Structure 1
Amino acid sequence: MKVRKQAVLFTMVVLFALNATVPVFAEDTAEKKTPYTIEYSKVEQTVLGNNLQVNSNMLSLDSLDNKNELKKKYENILDTVSKASQSLTAILNDPDASEELKTVAKGTSVTLSTLSKILDMQEDTSEDDFELTDLQTDLANYQIVRTAQSLFSTHYQLQYNIEDLTDSRALLENTLSTAQTKYNLKQGTSLDVAQAQDALNTLDCSITNLQNQSKAIDTEMNILLGHSYNDTIVFGNVPNPDTDYTNKIDPDSDLTAARDASYNIKIKRKQRAILSDETYKEKDKKNALNDDMELELQNIGSSLDKQYKTIQEKKVVLTAKQQKLATAEFSQEQALKKHEAGILSTMDYAKIRYNTLSQQYSVKAAMLGLFQEIESYKWIMRGLPASN
């Protein structure tokens, strides 16, 4: 196996190129930035095109590829040097050659020998080494894409929770107002008022906490998408779960496809191919890789089966929540008639109405949960390890 070597000059060029790709973000200003919108369907394309880490990974890979091209040129030069050295050797061994010519030949021979050593330093990675790096780069890049897609979903999980708590806040405000009114009329106690205020304060703290988490998600997404950390991001609509896809899932055939696509398996196979059988140490490494691959094959089977079952469970959960929402909506319709007839108080109707809103958020969350699990299944099929 060839030893990887890099010329100092080439390393400097690569480092300079890496530095050149990193944009310098302007300092924070009071000026309001123009918002940009990111749709879920565009997350992968945007990350692969703009993410700084992805760009750095690809540049490093390109640098290896370029070295393979340079290697061919170096080999041509080395061939020329070799032929020249043979001619110089013939001159040095020619008894009829003048001393001046032999002196020049000796000097030239030393120069060519030095050049040969320098060119030999340009020896590049083997094809297997390059393919291994290519696989590792793809895996790293797609894991960044997957992280960004996960954050997109997390953004909406937080938004549903914030909206749900914000709606419930109106009920707590009414409770506080009622407690205060009763206290003023000597029909309630100060403890009732204090407890109602505490509940409202606790809810406000929860809302603030979720809002801060949402802002943190915005910052992380900006960076993953290649934007400045403080840009104003607008998330597009979250897609509905692809139920057609779930109906076509075939666990048995999918298992074979997932194992064939697995980056971990491909990487371990390539690592094994690079090793030789020349030493016991390398043989032991090969055996260890064989064991690792067998374990990874089992992990893929386990992960895919678990993910499939999770999808089925999420579908059942979604159906149940949709039915619960339908019941809540029917209950609200009946309550509205009673409220309009003066049979049901405004406060009681508000509670029933809030329950319907809460069920709506519950359905949205269930749809989002199913969507996420389907996406995780698809990523396993594309060769990525299952997320923990």
Structure 2
Amino acid sequence: MRDPLSKKITGIAPSGIRKFFDIVSEMPDAISLGVGEPDFDTPWRVREEGIYTLEKGRTFYTSNAGLKELRQEISNYLDRKIHVRYDYVHEIMVTVGGSEGIDLTMRAMLNPGDEVLVPEPSYVSYAPCVTLADGVPVPIPMKEENEFKLTAEELEAAITPKTKILVLPFPNNPTGAIMTKEDLEPIAKLVEKYDLYVLSDEIYSELTYKTDHVSIASLPGMRERTLVVNGFSKGLAMTGWRLGYICGPQIIMEQMVKIHQYAILCAPTNSQYAAIEGLKNCDDEIQNMRTAYNERRRYLMHAFKEMGLRCFEPFGAFYVFPNIQEFGMTSEEFATELLREEKVAVVPGSAFGASGEGYIRISYAYSLDDLKEALGRVNHFIEKLRKK
């Protein structure tokens, strides 16, 4: 029989995150610290609005770009949070999660052979989405000694005449790194100098612990060069509602809506109504979740110090990225043995790019009780390794 599969698709590796999630799902006594999903329930106000929407029969299609009322609230939200005002009619589109926004950006903007710079370690979807759009992903390794931030020197060294888009994945998954306004300003100058565009993935923008999140779109000259991807999964604990959004220049957004029309049509209607309530009235709930995450973050940093495990201090998202190079194992070997011997699931750093090798990702989107039990097991595991 003729091969039914696309070589482009078969050449893309499956997600390294899901691999360990699937294994641990078959181990009922294991503790998973591997999935980046809030352990909080979606705020009641949001759930109640979703229920009310269903009771009222609001289950129809919305416009392709999303409910007008939701796009208006997104515009208001971004104005007060990142100090950038978007036209809700022409510059905002509601997507099925933030991941769709990443995919749409690449498909709408790339021609075959265009290069996309992807700072790594970073979220697993960027490079595959570039490949699926016939672009060329170019990784930029970020370094622990730079707090896993992208430096201007690293960026400029990676730019070629084929470079079109820079991905800015901050706050970062998996490292928890953030970039301040002072960090972003030299990056913005290079973007202008080399006539690039930016995909700024700001899905963790509500979860910063040292300083408020700053979007590169708010810097001079950057609004017209930046696509801002965000959503409701992390800040409002709405992962299963599958709702995100993307904002950017009208000329690009028009093409994204066209792709969305044919591939998706519209995001889930009741999720859109529920998200309006979240944007209007859930700042307190978001703050409570952020406070709890910060408490867990501080606990993990203290625990690592006590066990002598090196880990730079992250100030965003809900991940830590400890260094396991002292044990002479690959990150996959370490994660596999930890799961087998102590029944604790973490994600190998190599799942997030080659520069993640020698690290593991631990999510603290879990209760303190679970974290304490899991860290006790991790400590027991590394003590055995040090005695070998």
Q: TM-score range with shorter-chain normalisation?
A: under 0.3
| TM-score, with structure 1 as normaliser | 0.19
Q: Which one has a larger percent strand, Structure 1 or Structure 2?
A: 2
Larger radius of gyration: 1
TM-score (norm: length of structure 2): 0.19
Which of the pair is proportionally richer in helix?
Answer: 1
